Chain A
Amino acid sequence: MDEPVLPERPRLAPGVRLHFDKTRAAWVLLCPERIIEAEGPASEILKRCDGTRSVAVIVDELAAVFAVDRAVIAHDVTEMLTDLAGKRLLAS
């Protein structure tokens, strides 16, 4: 069994896109045969998964947006992106 590997410069996998749902005024991640809610910080993380930013840069940028300790943000970002990688929703 392979552990999901967090890409160095994550981007959304083919067939995955971040979408603002105007009807429900909410960010969602549209994926093959599923829809994942991407509220608040999640959408801020996902907007930055563009294949150019490293995970460290994404963490830095979020630390500038949210008044939260960088270590906490680093933990949350890593956890969320590792989970998405395990679901094959991220590409490197």
Chain B
Amino acid sequence: MNPLGMLAELTHRCPLGCPYCSNPLALEDRAGEMDTATWIGVFQQAADMGVLQVHLSGGEPASRRDLIELTQAASDAGLYTNLITSAIGIDADRLQRLKAAGLDHVQVSIQDTDPVVSDHIADYKGAHARKLALAEAVTGLGMALTVNAVIHRANIANLSGMVALAASLGAGRVEIAHAQYYGWALRNRDALMPTREQIDQAMHEMDALQARYAGRLVIDSVIPDYYARRPKPCMGGWGQKSLNVTPSGLVLPCHAAATIPGLTFWSVRERRLEDIWANSPAFEAFRGTAWMKEPCQSCSLRTVDFGGCRCQALAITGDAAAADPSCELSPYHSHLQVLAEQASGGDYAYRGRKESAVGSVR
């Protein structure tokens, strides 16, 4: 089965410094990024092998000067184009040109509803105002808007406010995405992890919000792993539905897969995308169920949740082939809960700064 979706990480450069960034600790640099023509070839190959949707992401994709040209090429190849942006670098004029290039959908992230709190989380003064301006410009042009909010200790008490903000901006959809502790986010786990009481309250609030906005706003919520009983079907299964191309052209089964030692990733600079999908050792490593150990191997849900997330299994148990510890059948499940409950809050470590440079606002 060929993939339906492709995450195109056009660049790792990003003006924001969000502490929950799940991109790797070591980012790929500008010099190693693929040029315009190479990306256009990747889009064409993706469409030819049956990819339907491309998510233009990063880093901040607007940091690429050729974003409009790339969007046009993806659209011309027949791909549904989704821009995942912080809003920094896209003014009304550039948005208009993206629309003309065939952009189908825009996802804008927010950090919270209060500008001071939001800008502190993003580590960028004025970011919040620019996000609101872009969101309004998107709906003003009659385009589809999703608002994405990553949820953590400092903003989890304000779910209602964030959903209301998304609705007031004209979003058709809002993502309530509990922080996932990969890459840089793992370094900030203690500062970001909500308390058990916060999670219980948030789950209650989500039910009420779903009922209140039914028919008006689609609210998609990602369960917080550390407080879950069953793992998420990460990526819909390793190498089943989607692939990820890094700025330099490496093809990954998910954007955190490079944290797993010993995997060999092939590059679109050297091989065709379809060959990589079918034959790359990294995709073969955890495809299907043959790689599984107990309790996954005999579990009736093994083809439903695929054992959860390989990167989380590695991060917590040291073994990428173990059951995701967010599953209550994992021997590490109670350890995960202890990690969550021991988290004490505290200051964020921002990328590119001395650690704990800035205190928390809330």
What residues of chain A have their CB less than 8 Å away from a CB belonging to chain B? 1-5, 13-17, 19, 21-24, 28, 30, 32-33, 35, 85-88
Contacts and interface: CB of A to CB of B under 8 A. Distances in A.
Interface of B: 2, 4, 49-50, 52-53, 78, 80, 82, 104-105, 107, 142-144, 146, 172-173, 175, 211-212, 214-218, 220
Contacts, number: 67
Given A15-B172, A32-B104, 20 more contacts: A1-B212, A2-B214, A13-B144, A14-B172, A16-B144, A17-B104, A21-B50, A30-B53, A32-B82, A32-B146, A33-B107, A33-B146, A33-B173, A33-B175, A33-B220, A35-B52, A35-B53, A86-B215, A88-B216, A88-B217
A-B complex: 7 closest residue pairs judged by Cβ atoms: A15-B144, A23-B50, A4-B215, A30-B80, A15-B105, A88-B172, A14-B144
Contacts of B220: 33
Nearest to A28: B52
Contacts of B80: 17, 19, 30
B5 to A, nearest CB: 8
Contacts of B212: 1
11 contacts: A5-B215, A15-B104, A17-B80, A19-B52, A32-B107, A33-B146, A33-B220, A35-B53, A87-B218, A88-B172, A88-B216
Contacts of A22: 50
Contact of B216 (A2, A23, A24, A28): A2
Nearest to A21: B52
A38 to B, nearest CB: 12
A41 to B, nearest CB: 21
A33 B84 CA distance: 11
Contact of A32 (B52, B78, B173, B217): B173
Contacts of A32: 82, 104-105, 107, 144, 146, 172-173
A58 B223 CA distance: 40
Contacts of A24: 50
Contacts of A23: 2, 49-50
A21 B107 CA distance: 24
Contacts of B216: 2, 88
Contacts of A28: 52
